[in-house]
Structure formats: structure tokens, C-alpha cells
Amino acid sequence: MTDRRSYDATRRRERAEEQKRQTRERVVDAARRLFLERGYVATTITAIAQEAGVSAQTVYLSFSGKAEILHRVADVAIGGDHEELTIFQRTTWQQLESEADPARQVRLLADLMAAIAERMAPVWQAYREAAATDPRAAADMAALLKGRHESLTRALRLLPEERLRLPLAECVDSFWTISSLDGYLLLTGYRGWSHEQWRDWLRETAVVQLLSPS
């Protein structure tokens, strides 16, 4: 009987955790839609709750406020799903680590950055608006930029030092700049480039800028 009660209690906890996870995901997905449609400032917690089909109190039980929700929206955009995985735990990163050819490594990294840019660029526009009025969002935006630079540093350390055209730090800064979300938005938004055109440009530009001839 004790084992049965323990089993039932475990199942109840698991169901409660699953419901909690699903609620958080609905809130995040609803917030993304509204941030992109209405903007960060015009989107209220009440509106997010209505869009997600929950109460405002439920939203506040999961998140401290809009800035934390936007942060999670960015996490999902970067990762491509709701899984609680870092970029280094993803299959695309593992492919990058296992590739032996430096030029193919750079192109794989460019493909990864392009995939993130396509998902993240609209969210970045929401961050621009949010950062102007919300100190937490401004701090998160700065942290995202720093984290991106650190990730690129880790990625480019995989390349043989003798193949780098410039010192590692300069290579990182170069790739960080040409793959920036701001640059992506300029070329795809203002210059009319397709996503595929930007991705292919990034792949070849990165190889030329980062690697010396073999």
C-alpha cells in the first residue's frame, strides 16, 4: 500500500510538472506573437494571458514580468525549440566539433548563425524597443551580445591556429560583426536580401575573412 501511495504521488507530481511546463510554453509562444505584432511596450501581461488562455496570475506564477518572458522568447528563438539545452548541447554544435576540415567548420558555423538569425531577428527588434524603457531588458540584451561573442570564441578555437588569417580575438570580432542580427536585419529588411542569400554570403565571406589559404 505504501508503495502504491508513493507511486501515485510521483505520478501526480509528474503530471503537475508537465502541466506547468506546457503552460510556460503557451505563455512564451503567445508573448512572441504579441511582441512581434504589437511591440514590447504595447503588450501587457493581461494580453499575454488572454492569448495563452490562462489568467494573469498564472503568468506571474511562471515569470516575474515581461522582461523575463522576453528573455525566454529569445532562448527559444536561439535554440529553435522549448528544450532546456544550451547551444553547446545541440546536434548542430556537435557536428561542428566533429568536423575536421576548417573551411567546412566555418561554413557549418555560418549555417548555425544563419538559422539562429532567421528565428531571432524579429525578437531582436522587440529587444531594441524593450531596452529603451526596461532596464532588465537592456541588461538581457547586453548579456545576449556578450554570450554570442563568447560562443563564437569557443567555436573559432576549434580551428587550427595556423589556419587563422588573423589572431583569434580579431577573427572572433570579425565573425561577430558580419553575422550580427543588426546586419541581418539591414540586408534582409532594407536591402531586400533573402535569408538564403544572406546565409550563402555569410558562409563564403567568413571563409575568406577567417582562414588563410591552405
Residues forming a β-bridge with 164: 211
Residues 31-80 have pLDDT tens digits of 999 999 999 999 999 999 999 999 999 999 999 999 999 999 999 999 99
Give the C-alpha distances (Å, rounded to integers) separating 4 from 8, 18, 128: 6, 21, 53
Q: What's the DSSP call for residue 115? A: H
- In this prediction, residue 85 has a pLDDT band, given cuts at 50, 70 and 90, of confident
Burial of 59 (0-12, 13-18, 19+ CB in 10 A): buried
* Weakest mean pLDDT among 5-9, 27-31, 164-168: 5-9
| 4 pLDDT more than 90 | no
Q: Superfamily assignment of 1-63 in CATH?
A: Homeodomain-like (1.10.10.60)
The pLDDT of residue 213 is 85
**Helical segments of the chain, H only:** 2-38, 45-52, 56-62, 66-79, 91-98, 102-131, 135-156, 168-178, 181-185, 195-210
The pLDDT of residue 74 is 97
Residues 6+ apart with CB under 8 A from 26: 52, 53, 54
Q: Say whether domain 65-214 belongs to CATH 1.10.490.
A: no
Domain with CATH 1.10.357 in the chain: 65-214
CA 61 – CA 40 distance, rounded (Å): 20
The pLDDT of residue 17 is 83
The pLDDT of residue 173 is 98
Q: 82, 28 in Cβ contact below 8 A? A: yes
Average pLDDT, the chain: 93
Q: What are phi and psi of 211, to 5 degrees?
A: -110, 140
CA 122 – CA 190 distance, rounded (Å): 14
CA 18 – CA 174 distance, rounded (Å): 43
Domain with CATH 1.10.10.60 in the chain: 1-63
CA 123 – CA 125 distance, rounded (Å): 5
Residues 96-134 have pLDDT tens digits of 999 999 999 999 999 999 999 999 999 999 999 999 999
Residue 192 grid coordinates:
531586400
CA 37 – CA 188 distance, rounded (Å): 19
Q: 152, 159 in Cβ contact below 8 A? A: no
CA 151 – CA 71 distance, rounded (Å): 18
Q: Name the residue with cell 501526480.
A: 12
